Amino acid sequence: MPKQVHARFSLYQVNRGTGWFKATSEEEAKPVESAQITLNATQGEPFGAYTPSGKLEMFIVNPAAAQMFFDAPIGQEFDILISPVAPAE
């Protein structure tokens, strides 16, 4: 059984909005520009016949993470690695 799954998605849509963000638990939340993004699974290589299908939607309020998508052109591809994590204790 694989320990991680590799998927490649391309940026389909980016919407700007307002979200509330706090960098630490002691800090008060403040309004920031947020990103709501949609990524679609890419077709073809490097997956060939095993190309996944699907989409990934995220609402991102971390300013640094949102900026990555604001700066990316539509169609930019992103690699995503999915791996299991231990249950929280």
Q: Which helix (H) or strand (E) holds 30?
A: strand 30-41
Q: What is the per-residue pLDDT across 3-30, written as a single tens digit (0 to 9) for each?
A: 888 888 999 999 999 999 988 888 899 9
Supply the pTM of this predicted model: 0.79
Write out pLDDT tens, residues 31-71.
999 999 999 998 777 677 777 778 999 999 999 999 999 99
Distance, CA of 23 to CA of 45 (rounded, Å): 38
pLDDT at site 89: 84
